[in-house]
Amino acid sequence: MAQIVCVCPQIVDAAQKGNAKMVRELLAAGADVNYSIPGVDGTGRTALDIATVNNHLEVVQVLVDTWADVNKSRKNGVTPLFIAATQGWLQIVQVLIAAGAVVDQAYDGTTPLSAAAQEGHLLIVQALVAAGAGVNKGGKDGITPVCMAVQQGHLQIVNFLIASAANVNKAKTSGGARGGTRGATPLFFAADAGNLQIVQVLIAAAADVHKARRDGATPLFMAAHNGHLQVVEALIAASADVNKAADVNKAQGCTPLLIAASNGHLQVVRALIAAGANLDKAIKTSRITPLFMAANNGHLQVVEALINDGADASLRGAGISPMYLAAKNGLLRYYPLLPPELTSHSADLKAVLAFLRAKWGDCRKTKKTRSDKDKKRRARRRQERKQEAGRGDGLDPLLDKIAKLST
């Protein structure tokens, strides 16, 4: 007569409770060590899976000693090793590896090593690498363990993986319907986050400072976008191209200087200028320059820095002068001081700044003593501006296309 094997859920219950004695008794009574919970809700979980989730080391050891299948996964592909690596259960990881767990068996393309690197479990990362885990094995989107560690800022893991021959230039191979972060490297992510230490480590490991995302955005572009001055300086010192432009949000030819000026990052703007950034390099389709964007967004210190370093204030974006934008935004409060020729679309920004500096001593006096004639003139100018605003200046549709550059 064939032996009847007890395939009962009690072993799963005992494993969940961490009752190693009961697990031994059930196994001795003929329970199937690889029994998995049936049905949709069960997802194929075994006693070993549940013991691992709950960090019941003794139960895991009992099951492994009784020849539990350490590579049996849930229906979605999650293995006990993946669970232990993600949760940070080092001793269970060691037991599973010793029992023959496949170290690169992935869940949805992510290996146990990538999961441990993402969660910051250094000792587990070391154990998996020692067991032969692939340090350059990427997920479905191409993300490697070192990239996972970089994104989460785990410096020690980044250092260890680099020492273990991780490829610091391997990029993402996908990134959403529109490309997203496709082409982004570990250095790109570190620069975007402003993590100076990791940026320096990657540069020292020969990371390519010019390698860009699919849309052309480089690590320097992202650091400039977010105002990470020290990262910008480190990338410039590593010979990053300060004039390499990106085609972001349909704004073709957006440079690091333009995005920094647009976001008002004064110190970054100065660093880029000092490194030889082209002051007047414009977006291809609209001819919008760094000065144009700084003026449009009311960043007057950036406007002055660009002007003082030689930016051409006469260049127009879509037919609109930077002066008009500066006056419309940041300089609006000074309108009462400006003669008509300095408040038009054709006004010269240098002339306005010079005029304001020359008149600054009269500002407080003008506010204190105001004749009836002055009041009427101010009222008339306010009315003219309202009328002009009602007609529209044609700017908003254009700026809508590049509004995301400042977010």
19-68 per-position pLDDT tens digit:
999 999 999 999 999 998 875 455 789 999 999 999 999 999 999 999 99
- What are the structure tokens assigned to 344, written together? 């038009």
Higher pLDDT, 102 or 364: 102
Beta-bridge mates of residue 36: 46
Phi, psi dihedral angles at 129 (to 5 degrees):
-65, -40
**Residue 405 confidence (pLDDT):** 45
Judge contact between 57 and 48, C-beta under 8 A.
Answer: no
Higher pLDDT, 389 or 87: 87
Helix (H) or strand (E) holding 302: helix 300-308
d(Cα 78, Cα 162) in Å, to the nearest integer? 27
Q: Where are the alpha helices (DSSP H) in 4-133?
A: 10-17, 20-28, 47-53, 57-65, 80-87, 90-98, 112-119, 122-130
Higher pLDDT, 177 or 317: 317
Burial of 381 (0-12, 13-18, 19+ CB in 10 A): middle
Average pLDDT on 362-378 reads 53
d(Cα 223, Cα 268) in Å, to the nearest integer? 9
Average pLDDT on 206-232 reads 96
Banded model confidence at residue 91, pLDDT cuts 50, 70, 90:
very high
As a CATH number, domain 1-69 is 1.25.40.20
Asked if residue 367 has pLDDT above 50, the reply is no
Asked if residue 93 has pLDDT above 70, the reply is yes
- What are the structure tokens assigned to 139, written together? 């997920």
Asked if residue 337 has pLDDT above 60, the reply is no
Asked if residue 147 has pLDDT above 60, the reply is yes
Asked if residue 105 has pLDDT above 90, the reply is yes
Average pLDDT on 111-133 reads 98
Q: Is the torsion defined by CA of 175, 178, 183, 189 positive or negative?
A: negative
Average pLDDT on 227-240 reads 98
Q: Is the torsion defined by CA of 378, 384, 387, 392 positive or negative?
A: negative
Phi-psi region of 253 (alpha: psi -120 to 50; beta: other; left: phi over 0): left
Compute CA distances 29 → 6, 7, 8, 21, 264, whole Å: 7, 10, 11, 12, 73
Judge contact between 295 and 330, C-beta under 8 A.
Answer: yes
Whole-number percent of the chain with pLDDT over 70? 74
Average pLDDT on 103-108 reads 93
Asked if residue 369 has pLDDT above 80, the reply is no
Reduce the DSSP state of residue 107 to 3 states and report it.
strand
Q: Whose structure tokens read 């069960």?
A: 42
Burial 294-332 (b: 16+ CB within 10 A, else e): bbbbbbbebbebbbeeebebebbbeebbbbbbbbbbbbe
Compute CA distances 186 → 45, 104, 121, 167, 207, whole Å: 35, 21, 19, 9, 8
